Structure 1
């Protein structure tokens, strides 16, 4: 018994009853390897062996100490008043208790750990889950509201949306064929080097693609590319993540965005590279829209070296389409959308 390694031999006098009704009898109490041995002092004959782990003290803190192999004292008992023996037995009990498994404590600890893990999961997962849900169920009017807020932030960098009526009328006429019946296209005076698709099917085009260009094909190609390359729910989700959980909850409950909720998001979009669709998908879409891809490709790389598939795969490379995308008058009006 490692708890008693300092004792080579430990014995003490005790008074023993072999049953609750029996008379006390003098015995020698000795601590064995894992037992308490009660011996007749006259004959040295062992009278009883008790398992040390099972020994229970019936009167803690009192002397003589009374021990029994039965917790309720319904079996044998022995009375011991030797301090060293009492200390030895108590030390054994303490060692056993220390090593004994505590299922209740273990369960309690595991419950606390599980609770903490769930709390962390809720803190980490729940906000994003709410944002994903909000992005997925946003009705068209709400999605357009988000897009308008993003456009307002973009205007801080590019200048306000160009509003010349004749040029906007041309854009409105082109919109269904290029990006969809319910979409909106807006032009900003600052350069974008392409087109952006915002939540609510709101498209933003930089005036740099109109001014000085030989025709509308490059700008139209960027609008179609933005439609193909940008998933509408994904861009809504990005915007709502930027706005934060509190704004999203307000949007879901009150149906409105807080002022400046998306401040900085538009500028972030301007700093990110514009997404590009698969070349084959874009070529098919441009063919259906009735114009070629080379003008679009040359805005990406004027040398043409990195966009050869788009140039060589131009659906109208062998000849222009039967009907131009815009008349000369329409193209001129579109070019002047930011004038005056």
Structure 2
């Protein structure tokens, strides 16, 4: 209790009856408020006792005469008559001030329980899903990833139409896959008529290529650049991780415990992939990719919709600029022509 809260009461005195214990005779006394105590003196001005204001209890709340005693010692009492209302009010005010400053175990326990509950909720909603998802990415085998990818293909075909199967097209796609193998895992290339904004890499390695990327350009370097960009996106964020993040922790737990994802989960994720523009890959990463897969950057940069600064960086940094010996061809002319006609265009 602050000293200023006591200052206004320090000159207050009152008459009362005090006894030292249950067997003692009650004495007429004068009660005065001190720095942090009540001082009880007899009528000869001899101090009988000091009571700590912080340890005063009342035996009969709301009744008169008011009877007080030291907290824990109800045998020693101080009785203040009804006409000492100012002193009674003062003691009650000071007791209330002390009570407000005391710690409240019940409230502290409640605060503690709520804090723990909040921590559990944070763990359950923020930390735990990520941990479960990371564990799933480590333990789900390649065969299961391929199965999930093929299931997604089935749902995507509702928007893209079936994979194109023009004469010689599959041979050309196999040649493209051999020329541009992923750094990790495997790749199976397919071409679809519509529904995709860019090349899409699915869990298990399936690469879905929009037909416009093989039909609209005279050379395969452009589609090769899009394949490289899809590889780099998948390296930056595992396609299965994207699926599980969209599906939520329940679906992730279901995959871990049963080995399956329900059709509703796969269909919902497929809908998010249709005609969705993929996030741009940084120019320096793309240049490293063109160098690794030995593909010219300039055709991709000049044909692809991208910021001017990124386009300039790819053209200027092309690892196979005209002054450098050209890279191996992406496809033979015959395979490229067969790939351009895979959808019957």
Q: Equivalent of 2:339, from 315, 334, 340?
A: 334
C-alpha distance in structure 2 between counterparts of 1:89 and 1:68, whole Å: 15
Q: Indicate the SS of the match to 1:315.
A: coil
How has the CA–CA distance of structure 1 residues 325 and 64 changed in structure 2, closer, same or farther, with 3 Å as cutoff? closer
> What are the Cα deviations for residues 165-205 of structure 1, in whole angstroms up to 9, with x where unaligned?
73123212331330237211111112746422222222111
> What are the Cα deviations for residues 17-62 of structure 1, in whole angstroms up to 9, with x where unaligned?
456555x15313323344142323xxx3324132252444567789
How has the CA–CA distance of structure 1 residues 56 and 94 changed in structure 2, closer, same or farther, with 3 Å as cutoff? closer
Q: Indicate the SS of the match to 1:29.
A: strand
Q: Equivalent of 2:143, from 141, 145, 159?
A: 141
Q: Is the 8 A contact 2:58 2:69 kept in 1?
A: yes
C-alpha distance in structure 2 between counterparts of 1:305 and 1:20, whole Å: 94
Partner of 1:83: 82
Q: Equivalent of 2:227, from 223, 226, 231?
A: 223
Q: Is the 8 A contact 1:201 1:232 kept in 2?
A: no
**Cα distance, 1:322 vs. partner?**
8.3
> What are the Cα deviations for residues 86-122 of structure 1, in whole angstroms up to 9, with x where unaligned?
8447615632542332252453143133223213313
**Cα distance, 1:273 vs. partner?**
3.8
Q: Equivalent of 2:299, from 295, 299, 303?
A: 295
How has the CA–CA distance of structure 1 residues 335 and 59 changed in structure 2, closer, same or farther, with 3 Å as cutoff? closer
Partner of 2:287: 280
C-alpha distance in structure 2 between counterparts of 1:183 and 1:25, whole Å: 100
Partner of 1:317: 322
How has the CA–CA distance of structure 1 residues 48 and 300 changed in structure 2, closer, same or farther, with 3 Å as cutoff? same
C-alpha distance in structure 2 between counterparts of 1:81 and 1:71, whole Å: 19
Q: Is the 8 A contact 1:127 1:245 kept in 2?
A: yes
1:11 maps to 2:14: yes
Count of residue pairs the alignment pairs up: 329
Q: Is the 8 A contact 1:166 1:333 kept in 2?
A: yes
How has the CA–CA distance of structure 1 residues 276 and 152 changed in structure 2, closer, same or farther, with 3 Å as cutoff? farther
Q: Is the 8 A contact 1:198 1:232 kept in 2?
A: no
How has the CA–CA distance of structure 1 residues 317 and 229 changed in structure 2, closer, same or farther, with 3 Å as cutoff? farther
Mean alpha-carbon deviation: is it higher for 149-158 or for 246-255?
A: 149-158
> What are the Cα deviations for residues 128-154 of structure 1, in whole angstroms up to 9, with x where unaligned?
432333234332123223333443443
**Cα distance, 1:339 vs. partner?**
2.8
> What are the Cα deviations for residues 190-235 of structure 1, in whole angstroms up to 9, with x where unaligned?
2746422222222111111222532333222321232134326433
Q: Is the 8 A contact 2:291 2:319 kept in 1?
A: no
Q: Equivalent of 2:133, from 131, 137, 142?
A: 131
C-alpha distance in structure 2 between counterparts of 1:66 and 1:221, whole Å: 92
Q: Is the 8 A contact 2:56 2:95 kept in 1?
A: no
Q: Indicate the SS of the match to 2:267.
A: coil
Partner of 1:108: 109
Mean alpha-carbon deviation: is it higher for 123-132 or for 59-68?
A: 59-68
| Bigger radius of gyration among the two | 1
5+ residue gaps, structure 1: none
Q: Is the 8 A contact 1:36 1:51 kept in 2?
A: yes
**Cα distance, 1:326 vs. partner?**
2.9
Report the TM-score, using the length of structure 2 for normalisation: 0.76
1:205 maps to 2:209: yes
How has the CA–CA distance of structure 1 residues 165 and 142 changed in structure 2, closer, same or farther, with 3 Å as cutoff? farther
Partner of 2:100: 99
